[in-house]
Amino acid sequence: MHRRKFLTTLSALALGPSLARAAEDAAFLPGKLTQLTLPGGGDSRATYMPDGKTVLFASTRTGRSQIWSMDPDRGNARRAHESGANDYGRVAPSLHCRRLCFSSDRDGQNAIYVLDSRTGATTLVSDLAWWSFGPTWSSRDLIAYFSRKGGKGINIWTVRPDGSDARQVTDRPGESRQPWWSPDGRTLALSADDSTGAFQVWLMGADGSDARAITTRGNWQQPFWSPDGRQLAVSAKVDGSHFRILVMGADGGDVRPIRQPTGADNVHPAWSPDSRSIVFTSGMGEAGALWHFSFSA
């Protein structure tokens, strides 16, 4: 939360409960919170298909992690892809919705695969010798993911959907992870800790150039661009004991929370293609459930 809004809330608490409620309401972005799935199935890491008609997510409701889909209004949950392995989200769809990129341990080591949704064929696009996770698919048809390959701790790599032209784009101390492409495919937002254990949001070019941190305090995870490229939704632990979903400008300013469950970690925010909502996970592991925040018109 912005320091000014935090101090405003403290001042209102000193003046009485009615003013405190008003200050708290003013701190949140206006909108409606809706629960999409129930805890117990390990539902997590949701993303929208580019046409906005389907929400993809990972779930352990069948005993292992599989890729599921559902309608945005909570209906018609079904398995989007079935395998004998653990297939993990986030699932990154291609621009035209014909292919999906995801993480899987189907060949013994967690790696990145591209799935042709029409034929069911999968293509390995990362080095199977190294643990890799968390792909994102750009509008310029380039996949980014994070991997233990390349020295240091964890690094960001890019690759073509056919597995060619693999390139390491970060080489920082510690971990660089959770990349997500800007809508124009020119910029990656990611989390990096420089070996401190406290992750900040970084922006950089597709080749790793012009890298700069846009947060400085707390622990910031899983940045996700808004469709217009002007904002980021993030999961952050700044002034409290739990991770919260925050929305901020692409320069790191104007930070405000959305409405979300309290008393739990809220993680993995993802914007809808029409900019009207954010879907996220509340709770960790088997207790995870999907929630939906829709912005007021």
**Residue entry with tokens 């492409």:** 181
- pLDDT of res. 26: 59
pTM of the entire predicted model? 0.90
Residue of 236, 228, 235, 182 lying closest to 206 (CA atoms) = 182
- Whether 9 shows a pLDDT value over 50: the answer reads no
**Looking at per-residue confidence, does 10 or 165 come out higher?**
165
pLDDT digits (tens, 9 = 90+) for 200-224: 999 999 999 999 999 999 999 999 9
Cα(218)–Cα(140) distance, integer angstroms: 32
Share of the chain above pLDDT 70, in %: 91
Q: Which of 3-17, 21-35, 76-90, 216-230 is predicted most confidently?
A: 216-230
Cα(41)–Cα(265) distance, integer angstroms: 16
- Please check whether residue 274 is in contact with residue 227, taking contact to mean a CB–CB distance below 8 angstroms: yes
- pLDDT of res. 18: 44
Q: Which residues of 244-261 are buried (b: 16+ CB within 10 A; e: fewer)?
A: bbbbbebebeebebbbbb
- In order of their start, the domains of the chain are 31-295 (2.120.10.30)
Question: What is the average pLDDT across 1-21?
Answer: 40
Neighbours of 30 (CB within 10 A): 11
Question: What is the average pLDDT across 33-45?
Answer: 95
Range with the poorest average pLDDT among 70-84, 137-151, 271-285? 70-84
Average pLDDT, the chain: 90
Rg of the chain taking only CA atoms, in angstroms = 19
pLDDT digits (tens, 9 = 90+) for 50-102: 999 999 999 999 999 999 999 998 778 999 999 999 999 889 999 888 999 99
Share of the chain above pLDDT 90, in %: 84
Cα(271)–Cα(263) distance, integer angstroms: 23
- Whether 16 shows a pLDDT value over 70: the answer reads no
